Amino acid sequence: MSAERNATAIAHPNIAFIKYWGNRDQVLRIPANGSISMNLDGLETRTTVGFSPELGRDTLTLNGEEIKESGLARVSTLLDRIRGQAGFTDYAQVISENNFPTGTGIASSASAFAALALAASTAAGLALSEAELSALARTGSGSASRSVPGGFVEWYPGEDHASSYAASIAPPEHWALTDCIAVVSEAHKATGSTGGHAVAETSPLQAARVADAVRRLEICRTALLERDFEQLADIVELDSNMMHAVMLTSQPRLLYWQPGTVAVMRAVTEWRQAGLPACYTIDAGPNVHVLVPSEHAPVIAARLEEVPGVLEVLQAAPGGPARLVNPG
Ligand code: DP6
């Protein structure tokens, strides 16, 4: 394998404060609405890509296990886009490791496709801008667009491939927030987000959710920039509840919550009413992300561990952008 067609990149997953749910273009992943998220420090995907004329096909190894069929096809589609732009046809060997458990509701596709887009485009010799890289990652997994820039990030929905990308709205050090992730189930979810996006439009509530998105984005952006936790907490919970209302009223109906999910939602609501700053947000899975100002994280994490159904609590501060790792 020639040295110049090899690269390694690291990217963090992210937690959405304002959610991406539903696409205007399912293939390109042009979203129905904009979204805002925070990268998760300490959790990461590290991916090495090597293109070589000696390979007979693309291969993908994830956490030491060879992945075939749909997982590999999704990676090859992104590689094809890069090969097309770089003007060569060599296949690639992709080796990827997550330092966090896959399928626990921590969006591994976000860090996976952000790291893949950066490693593969670099290995192919393309020098992409951050916006181009974010748009490229988006085609692999929508939320991956938000794992390319650092810190607190907004994905502008755009209208076509080039205009749908994410950018940082504040660096990681802007606000010491901690995401306390209450893991309530490690089982693999039945319907992944790609399938969920495809049925979002079947809910009579989706149009109202999308129509109100610009307002929620504005409130969330301002709360972030002003470090106003009360405002942030209210809008984050409203947005998560609206997405789950769409999920629950889609065809087929999507219910991601487990008893432990609801127990955490109730506990967090009580704690906030009692004056403890904490709010919840839930993705397409049963685990609950509890956002807190970092000085309260030890107390909240300890309390979360006592909630019935909670298996473990992970903690993540705001994380940086996707980055290349020097060889050796
Ligand atoms: C609920 O980005 O995982 O986490 O583009 O099909 O890979 P694909 O979907 P994905 O969807 C994320 C959905 C979400 C909300 C969010 O992260 O904004």
Task: Please classify residue 24 by burial: count the beta carbons closer than 10 Å to its beta carbon, then call 0-12 exposed, 13-18 middle and 19+ buried.
Answer: middle
Residue among 283, 288, 289 to mutate when testing ligand 1 (max atoms within 8 A of CB)? 283
Which CATH number belongs to the domain containing residue 54 in this structure? 3.30.230.10
Residues 226 and 270 in one domain: yes
Q: What confidence score (pLDDT) does residue 235 get?
A: 98
Taking 3-state DSSP, the helix, strand and coil percentages for the chain, each rounded to the nearest 5, stand at 40, 25, 35
Shortest-distance atom of ligand 1 to CA 113: 7
Q: What confidence score (pLDDT) does residue 188 get?
A: 65
Mean pLDDT of 147-151: 98
Q: What confidence score (pLDDT) does residue 1 get?
A: 43
Residue 326 is assigned to a structural domain of this protein? no
Residue 328 is assigned to a structural domain of this protein? no
* Residue 300 CA to ligand 1 centre (angstroms): 26
Residue among 111, 193, 199, 244 to mutate when testing ligand 1 (max atoms within 8 A of CB)? 193
Domain final position from 122, 152, 173: 173
Residue ranges making up the domain that contains 9:
5-173
Ligand 1 binding pocket, CB closer than 6 Å = 16, 19-21, 29, 35, 107, 109, 141-143, 193-194, 197, 283-284
pLDDT higher than 80, residue 29? yes
What's the token pair of residue 193? Answer: 């987000």
Determine what percent of the chain is predicted with pLDDT higher than 70.
Answer: 95
Higher pLDDT, 29 or 189: 29
* Residue 284 CA to ligand 1 centre (angstroms): 8
pLDDT higher than 90, residue 90? yes
* Residue 21 CA to ligand 1 centre (angstroms): 7
Residues 128 and 202 in one domain: no
Residue among 15, 27, 106, 143 to mutate when testing ligand 1 (max atoms within 8 A of CB)? 143
pLDDT higher than 50, residue 72? yes
pLDDT band of 100, cuts 50, 70, 90: confident
Domain final position from 148, 173, 198: 173
Write the pLDDT tens digit of every residue in 233-283. 999 999 999 999 999 999 999 999 999 999 999 999 999 999 999 999 999
Domain final position from 173, 200, 216: 173
Residues 137 and 259 in one domain: no
Shortest-distance atom of ligand 1 to CA 18: 18
pLDDT higher than 60, residue 103? no
Residues 27 and 63 in one domain: yes
Write the pLDDT tens digit of every residue in 39-64. 999 999 999 999 999 999 999 999 99
How many whole angstroms from its chain centre is CA 304? 23
Kindly give, in sequence order, each residue whose CB lies less than 8 Å from that of residue 177, ignoring residues fewer than 6 positions away.
Answer: 38, 291, 292, 293, 294, 317, 318
Q: What confidence score (pLDDT) does residue 326 get?
A: 81
Residue 327 is assigned to a structural domain of this protein? no
Write the pLDDT tens digit of every residue in 169-192. 999 999 999 999 999 977 766 788
Shortest-distance atom of ligand 1 to CA 144: 2
Residues 49 and 122 in one domain: yes
Residue 322 is assigned to a structural domain of this protein? no
Residues 162 and 139 in one domain: yes
* Residue 143 CA to ligand 1 centre (angstroms): 5
* Locus of tokens 């709360």: 223
Q: Are 184 and 311 in contact (CB under 8 A)?
A: yes
The candidate with the shortest Cα–Cα distance to 121, out of 10, 5, 273, 214, is: 5
pLDDT band of 96, cuts 50, 70, 90: very high
Residues 109 and 10 in one domain: yes
Q: Which residue's CA is the closest to the ligand 1 atom numbered 6?
A: 194
Mean pLDDT of 95-121: 87
Q: Which residue's CA is the closest to the ligand 1 atom numbered 1?
A: 283
Structural domains of the chain, count: 2
Q: What confidence score (pLDDT) does residue 4 get?
A: 66
Residue 324 is assigned to a structural domain of this protein? no
* Residue 283 CA to ligand 1 centre (angstroms): 8
Write the pLDDT tens digit of every residue in 108-119. 899 999 999 999
Residues 211 and 311 in one domain: yes
